[in-house]
Amino acid sequence: MMNTTNIREQKIETLNELIAITRDSAEFYSDAATKVDNPQLRSLFNGMAESKNGLVGAMSRDVKESGARPAEAGTFRGVLHQIYGDARAKFGDDKEFAYVSELEETEDRLLGAWNNVLGDNEVPAPVKNAVTSYLPKVKEHHDLMRDRKWAMEAKH
């Protein structure tokens, strides 16, 4: 049986992992916004970056309230993913679709991370409750980019 200290530590660790990958995603959106010509996509990407930064802020406050320091950097995998997305967008015929496609994949990754925590029977209920409170925003982001990608694919 886990004691409250272990639960607190697991909550902090879990939220910090989610903060890092959410920060990766926010940075990817910000970067993509500077590289697309379409003003609607630029606005969408900037809005997504802002929303993700808000999510990072909320999770960071949760970690601080638990008496710890929130993660301050993204993940190494996120950096590699962004480099791949940049290369794909630079050399592709349709860089805007390439960015939307890459960003939609980051949304899949992010939603997958949430679902991994929620589906893990070893994760204590208080940790799942903290993670669940952020799930609606994560799903909203995911669905928005999925729908945008589908709409762009339908035009091709």
> pLDDT for 32-70, tens place per residue?
899 889 999 999 999 999 999 999 999 999 999 999 999
Residue ranges per domain, the chain? 4-155
Identity at 98, one-letter amino acid code: A
CA distance linking residue 99 with residue 146, whole number of Å? 12
Contacts of 32 (CB under 8 A, 6+ apart): 45, 85, 89, 99, 102, 103
Q: H or E segment at 108?
A: helix 95-119
Encoding tokens for residue 13? 């660790």
Encoding tokens for residue 87? 């290369």
Helices 39-65 and 4-33 pack at an angle, to 10 degrees, of 160
Q: What pLDDT is recorded for position 109? A: 86
Mean per-residue pLDDT pooled into runs of 10, the chain (156 residues): 80 91 90 91 95 94 92 69 60 76 88 92 89 93 95 85
Nearest to 16 by CA among 73, 65, 92, 81: 73
- pTM, rounded to two decimals: 0.85
Q: Domain 4-155: what homologous superfamily? A: Ferritin, core subunit, four-helix bundle (1.20.1260.10)
Q: What pLDDT is recorded for position 84? A: 56
Q: Residue 13 in contact with residue 129, Cβ under 8 Å? A: no
